[in-house]
Each structure stands twice: as structure tokens, then as C-alpha cells.
Amino acid sequence: MKTDKLEIQDVCIFVGGSQPPKEVFSDLPQDGYVRLIQIRDYKTDRFITYIPQELARRFCDQKDIMIGRYGPPIFQICRGLKGAYNVALMKAVPKENILHEYLYYFLKQDSLFQYIDSLSLRTSGQTGVDIECLKKYPIYLPTLHIQQKIADILSTLDAKIELNNRINAELENLAKTIYDYWFVQFDFPDRNGKPYKSSGGEMVCNKECDRAIPAGWKVRDLGDFGIFKNGVNYDPSQPGDTLAKIVNVRNISGSSIFIHSQELDSIYLTLKEVNNYLVTNQSILIARSGIPGSTRLITDYIENTIYCGFIICFEVNNENLKLPLFFFLKNIEKTISSQSGGTIMKNINQSILKSFKLPLPKDPLSSDLVQNFKNKIEPILQKINLIDKENQQLTQLRDWLLPMLMNGQISIK
């Protein structure tokens, strides 16, 4: 594979963003405004911001290669959004000697990330990309024909990963819709298999939740169905003698329903700390801060898996109730977040979680409805879990191939 030894500055230029004053920001779209793209927008659409078009200076579209200039984590390589971008982002614009897709994957290499991370300055607790060092990073550039073949291999893997993500999003929406029909709209199947409320099922007014609920149901506090416990606060400079896997908020932010044990960090704590904060089959994990209210399950339980102090664990009294309670919490994630407090970092506390009210059959443990819901939802969640694992394997394959394709260790015919 013929290559030319160049530096990154020989194949692309970097264009920094601009920052209008915050007083012109708007949370809602309006005439004469454009979206302001920020680093966090590539992970969540919860904080969409708009600015007056006349104050926008730098623009990007969905195909542009965008780089996060500050961290942690530093040097995030992103794309997929259209709008004006702020100073925390810069755009990598390819020159004529390099294909857009090839440049994107070159910048995604872990070796390049490690290089930039090690050389970038850390000031005021924030890491910034050393652009001059980035420009001088060497690149071995094959012919455009070989660049295209390499990009095709990697983009095919990414396309499959993205397809799987869309399938899982649809499956998650399906599970949420079933919960909504059964436990919010009360159109669960009656004895004749017809939707209960729509078919004239008896409804009674309930003052506690200020709405009508099915006859034979009762409104209960969420706290009646289990215990809530904050996670472990630990000092990493004083490790213990027991190895554990720990769930952090970033594990929650990087998932939608499931947290997978192989994605967790390892840590040494005392045996007492580990035993006091174990995740079990009846655990529902809720972010206490960072993204307060975000609710997840953990799969593939391994020994000594625990949760950090920024997470609240809801240990459900009975495993049969875990899925209805989990989807109840998923259904009110935004409500929980809106009730979080704190001046510097928003937090949700246990008392608020315990006080949320939900209607259920009077004896939910012996209710056919609860068991039928579990039987209906479990296959959907199992499919989501399998697709998640397939994506992990595809990601590992892509990340294994990427550096070898870029440095010529694997030849392309």
C-alpha cells in the first residue's frame, strides 16, 4: 500500500467556533434564530439552544467532522448535527488529498487521542486541545482509492451499529408504549382480551392521584415497594483489599436501558463497603446527580458489582414487580429531573423518589396483570440486550481494525 508520510496540517485545516453572549440564548426555536451546537448536544438533546442568526459566525452540517476542544473527555470526534457551533468545538476541513470519511476515522484513533490528551494543558480543572501539536501529528496517507476502501470497511461496521441502535430505540419505545397502555391509560387486556377502560371497565375516582383508576386498584407510594440507598463514597487514594466493579453516572449516560458489567471500571474497596452497596437482580439504578432521575437496569451480574455515591439504588421487595416499577420510573424521568435541587449540581433525594404515587392492583404480587406484563416485556428486553452485545462486538472489531488499517498493517486488495 503506497503511502505518503505527512502531518495532519498537510491534509486538513481546523476552523474554531464562535461564542455569542449567553443572554441571547433561547430554549425554543423562533424566527431569525439558528441552533447553537455545543459538545454536550452530541450526547443528549435535553439542552437544545438557539441564538439569533446574525450573531452566528461558524456553521456545520451533519456530515462535518467536529472536534471537542475541551474536556473531560478531551478530543471528542463528533458529527451528525447542523447549526452554528460554539468555541468549545472546531471543524476539521479536509484538503484535496484526503477523503472526508478517511479523515474522520483517522481522527477517531485511540493512539491520537492518547497523544493529544498527554500533551494538552490542564488549567482550572479543564483540559484543552493543543492545536499546534495536533497539526504536527504524522499521518501515512495512502492513495485515494485505498482511502475509499478503508473508509468503506469501517463505515459498513458503523452503519450496522447505527441500524442496531435504531432497532433498539424502536424496541424500547414498544416496551414503554405497552406500559403506558396498561398502567397509565388502563387499557390492559381484560378477561375477554379487550382494552379494559376503552371497553367500559369500571373506573373509580381516586383523590390521592386526582384521577379515575380501575376498580380493585390502589394508589401506593413508590417507597412501599422497596428501599432506596445512596451509593458508596470512596477515597481512591486509600484503596481497600476487595476488588469490585463499580457503576458510575457515565455508565448511565452512555446507555438507555441496560448497563453492561463489562463496561464498568474496577476498584479496590474494603469488604464492608462492597457488601453494603451490592447490585442484585432486584436493583433499579437511578442517577442522583449529573443526569438526575435517569433510570437503568444492569445485566450480566458478576460478583461484587456496586454503585457510586452519585447513584441511588432502588432495591425492589419482589422481583416480579421490578419491571412495572422500572417503567414507572422511566416514564417520569423528566418529572424527577425537574424536581431535583442544588445550586451547583442538581440532585434528587430519596424522599422525593419515595413519595411518588402510582396505581397498581391491590395485591400486585398475585395479580395476573403484573405477571402478564412481565411475560410481555421480558422478551423485548432480552432482544435489546442481545443487540447491545452485538454492538459491543462490532465496536471491538472496528476499534481493532482501525489502527491497523490506518498504519498499513492490514493490506487492502
Question: Among 40, 126, 29, which Cα is nearest to 85's?
Answer: 40
Peptide bond into 364 cis (omega under 30): no
| pLDDT for residue 290 | 83
Average pLDDT over residues 387-409: 93
Position with higher pLDDT, 3 vs 339: 339
Share of the chain above pLDDT 70, in %: 96
pLDDT at 122: 52
* Amino acid letter, residue 136: K
Handedness of CA 282, 288, 289, 292 (dihedral sign): positive
Domains of the chain (ranges; CATH) run 3-142 (3.90.220.20), 190-362 (3.90.220.20)
- Encode pLDDT of 86-134 as tens digits: 999 999 999 999 999 999 999 999 999 999 988 876 544 556 888 999 9
Averaged pLDDT, 254-271:
90
269-309 pLDDT tens trace: 999 999 999 999 999 999 998 889 999 999 877 789 999 99
Q: Residue 74: pLDDT band by 50, 70, 90 thresholds?
A: confident
Q: Which of 180, 176, 178, 183 is nearest to 219 (CA)?
A: 183
Q: What is the DSSP letter of 339?
A: T
Q: Are the CB atoms for 231 and 277 separated by under 8 Å?
A: yes
- Which residue in 147, 8, 149 sits closest to 67, CA to CA? 8
Which long-range contacts does 62-67 make (Cβ < 8 Å, 24+ apart)?
A: 63/100, 64/91, 65/91, 65/92, 65/94, 65/100, 65/103, 65/104, 65/107, 66/37, 66/42, 66/90, 66/91, 66/92, 67/14, 67/91, 67/92, 67/107, 67/129
- Is the alpha carbon torsion for 341, 38, 138, 142 positive or negative? positive
Q: Give the mean model confidence (pLDDT) for residues 353-359.
A: 95
Residue pair 412/404 in contact (Cβ under 8 Å)? The answer is: no
DSSP output for 157-197: HHHHHHHHHHHHHHHHHHHHHHHIIIIIS---B-TTSSBTT
3-class DSSP assignment, residue 142 = strand
Type of residue found at 338? S
Nearest by Cα to 230 from 340, 315, 338: 315
What average pLDDT score do residues 192-204 get? 95
Three-class SS state of 6: strand
Phi, psi of 243 (to 5 degrees): -80, 135
Q: How confident is the model at residue 343 (pLDDT cuts 50, 70, 90)?
A: low
- For residue 366, pLDDT beyond 90: no
Please give the model's pTM, rounded to 2 decimal places.
Answer: 0.84
